[in-house]
């Protein structure tokens, strides 16, 4: 997917004017928030679990090479093979070569954000394979030729009517003639089409929520069971994962699984949590003949040594998206690449470059809700500020904003002058807005007043009001 993150402002404006999208977002957002709140209220030890999860991830990041080597040894011992990919192109090359080796024609795929990151479907199709998404949300957006708009609910931006219309358009040749109105009718229709794809696929690709070093296992969580059918029915199973997904032990994985399900969907545990260890053994009733894990770096090793290391604790739960007022207003597509919301605003500039992704770091009021709900306590607002610092240091932001920041810095370092200037400004704005009590438009704040009124200041700064009180005034 070609990034359009630099066009965040235009993307967001379009999203805000799209009434259908706004309806879908309003319907979806609150559900995740409420379910998470109830699930956490029902687990008094949630904060302890959160601290434990963070400690596990910090320990892994401090010993990443050791645990990755251990993981590879145990995958090999179980009969599988690990492939290392530094870039998305390398990862796609490895996957397409494995599909070719397997003599594949049809490839089924479970949900994988790393798959989106490397654009694996485009690579498979360009190499002549039929790639079929099997997660319902991913299947819907594949038919719509759209990227996911949420990391755990990729089609959250679509209404039921839009999905029914898509199925009518794409399934007509496969015998769909009845109308699709209810959710069960839509789900049954997807099941009817996907069943045949599952049984006739030659290769199945899944992602991994965790990689377990001590056993060489990969773990996926789903609520549809599609991941299990994708992994076990074809002859070859390929797992796409990024380096930081490794954890030392099975116990460590269970701590993170408890955090993940509650933070993502408000469940105690997802409907299916599956551990895969190597290919089918002689006495196994089913399973693939070959098992491959493709481990992607794509800039993560660089993050490990820099100021964005905390971001590698992310377990892709989506809680920061669900609680973000910006994401809730504009949806995922406005972010212009694979990862949306606060986590995307941190990750995208690291993966596609600060020049391309710098608008995202500025699309935040730094309200801090994302950090408050993040199960891995990732300091997302501080990381966004670090992007802004780098943007300024590299002179990437426009002259006007640099000038404004320089003026602010000049004043902020001179408290007496700062108090004098803000005092004048407040008195002037207070006088100007006294009659109406608010501003409908204001030079230098046009973007703010275009969508909302700005209350007129009372005519004095907080410091002036405080000083007046100290001196016994009212
Ligand atoms: S940054 Fe935190 S809240 Fe956001 S997806 Fe990652 S783990 Fe979840």
**Ligand 1 atom index nearest CA of 321:** 4
pTM > 0.75: yes or no:
yes
Region class of 315: left (phi > 0), else alpha (psi between -120 and 50), else beta = alpha
pLDDT of residue 458: 84
Please choose from 245, 311, 320, 383 the residue to mutate so as to test ligand 1's pocket, defined by most ligand atoms within 8 A of CB: 320
pLDDT of residue 473: 59
What is the percentage of the chain residues whose pLDDT exceeds 90? Answer: 84
Q: Residue 285: is it exposed, middle or buried by C-beta count within 10 angstroms (0-12/13-18/19+)?
A: exposed
Tell me the three state secondary structure of residue 455: strand
Distance 417 CA to ligand 1 centre (A): 41
Pick the closest to residue 262 from 328, 324, 327, 318 (CA basis). Answer: 318
Ranges 310-314, 329-333, 402-406: which has the least confidence: 402-406
Phi/psi for 449 (5° steps) reads -80, -10
Residues lining ligand 1, Cβ inside 6 A: 263, 314-320, 343, 374-376, 378
Distance 314 CA to ligand 1 centre (A): 5
List b or e across 178-200, with b for residues whose CB sees 16 or more CB atoms inside 10 angstroms: eebeeeeebeebbeebbeebbee
> Helix crossing, 19-41 with 8-17: angle to 10°?
100
pLDDT of residue 175: 87
- The predicted-structure confidence for 183-226, as pLDDT tens digits, reads as follows 999 999 999 999 999 999 999 999 999 999 999 999 999 999 99
Report how far residue 323's alpha carbon sits from residue 255's, in angstroms, rounded to the nearest whole number.
Answer: 23
The residue whose C-alpha atom lies closest to atom 2 belonging to ligand 1 is: 374
Phi/psi for 294 (5° steps) reads -100, 115
Between 227 and 177, name the one with better pLDDT: 227
Tell me the three state secondary structure of residue 95: helix
pLDDT of residue 29: 67
* 455: β partners: 438
What is the percentage of the chain residues whose pLDDT exceeds 70? Answer: 99
- The predicted-structure confidence for 284-316, as pLDDT tens digits, reads as follows 999 999 999 999 999 999 999 999 999 999 999
The residue whose C-alpha atom lies closest to atom 6 belonging to ligand 1 is: 314
- The predicted-structure confidence for 107-136, as pLDDT tens digits, reads as follows 999 999 999 999 999 999 999 999 999 999
Pick the closest to residue 266 from 211, 312, 206, 322 (CA basis). Answer: 322
Mean pLDDT across 258-263: 97
Report how far residue 122's alpha carbon sits from residue 238's, in angstroms, rounded to the nearest whole number.
Answer: 17
Ranges 37-46, 266-275, 396-405: which has the least confidence: 396-405
Mean pLDDT across 361-365: 93
- The predicted-structure confidence for 89-111, as pLDDT tens digits, reads as follows 999 999 999 999 999 999 999 99
Ranges 149-158, 231-240, 397-406: which has the least confidence: 397-406
- The predicted-structure confidence for 418-467, as pLDDT tens digits, reads as follows 999 999 999 998 898 888 888 888 777 777 777 778 888 888 888 888 88
pLDDT at 236 over 80: yes
């Amino acid at each position: 997917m070609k990034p359009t993150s630099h066009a965040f402002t235009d993307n967001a404006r379009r999203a805000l004017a799209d009434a259908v999208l706004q309806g879908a977002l309003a319907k979806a957002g609150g559900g995740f928030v409420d379910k998470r709140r109830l699930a956490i209220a029902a687990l008094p030890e949630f904060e302890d679990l959160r601290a434990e999860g963070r400690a596990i991830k910090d320990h892994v990041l401090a010993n990443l090479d050791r645990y990755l080597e251990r993981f590879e040894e145990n995958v090999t011992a179980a009969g599988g093979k690990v492939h290392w990919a530094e870039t998305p192109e390398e990862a796609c090359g490895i996957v397409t070569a494995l599909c070719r080796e397997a003599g594949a024609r049809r490839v089924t795929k479970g949900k994988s954000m790393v798959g989106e990151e490397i654009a694996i479907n485009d690579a498979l199709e360009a190499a002549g394979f039929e790639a079929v998404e099997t997660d319902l949300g991913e299947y819907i957006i594949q038919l719509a030729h759209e990227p996911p708009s949420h990391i755990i609910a990729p089609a959250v931006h679509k209404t039921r009517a839009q999905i029914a219309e898509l199925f009518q358009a794409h399934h007509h040749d496969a015998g769909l003639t009845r109308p699709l109105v209810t959710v069960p009718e839509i789900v049954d229709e997807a099941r009817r089409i996907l069943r045949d794809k599952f049984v006739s696929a030659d290769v199945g690709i899944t992602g991994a929520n965790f990689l377990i070093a001590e056993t060489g296992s990969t773990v996926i969580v789903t609520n549809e069971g599609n991941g299990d059918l994708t992994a076990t029915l074809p002859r070859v199973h390929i797992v796409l994962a990024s380096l930081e997904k490794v954890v030392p032990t099975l116990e460590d994985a269970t701590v993170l699984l408890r955090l993940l399900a509650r933070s993502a969907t408000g469940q105690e545990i997802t409907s299916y949590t599956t551990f895969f260890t190597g290919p089918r053994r002689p006495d196994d009733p089913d399973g693939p003949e070959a098992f491959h894990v493709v481990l992607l770096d794509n800039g993560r090793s660089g993050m490990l040594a820099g100021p964005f290391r905390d971001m590698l604790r992310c377990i892709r739960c989506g809680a920061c998206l669900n609680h973000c007022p910006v994401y809730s207003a504009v949806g995922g597509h406005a972010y212009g690449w694979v990862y949306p919301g606060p986590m995307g605003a941190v990750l995208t500039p690291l993966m596609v470059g600060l020049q391309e992704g710098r608008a995202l770091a500025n699309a935040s009021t730094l309200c801090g809700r994302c950090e408050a709900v993040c199960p891995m306590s990732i300091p997302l607002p501080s990381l966004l500020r670090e992007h802004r610092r780098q943007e300024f240091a590299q002179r990437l932001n426009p002259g006007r904003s640099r000038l404004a920041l320089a003026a602010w810095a000049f004043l902020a370092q001179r408290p007496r002058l700062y108090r004098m200037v803000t005092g004048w400004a407040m008195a002037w704005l207070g006088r100007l807005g006294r009659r109406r009590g608010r501003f409908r438009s204001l030079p230098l704040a046009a973007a703010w007043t275009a969508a909302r009124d700005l209350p007129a200041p009372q005519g004095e700064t907080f410091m002036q009001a405080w000083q007046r009180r100290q001196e016994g005034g009212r």
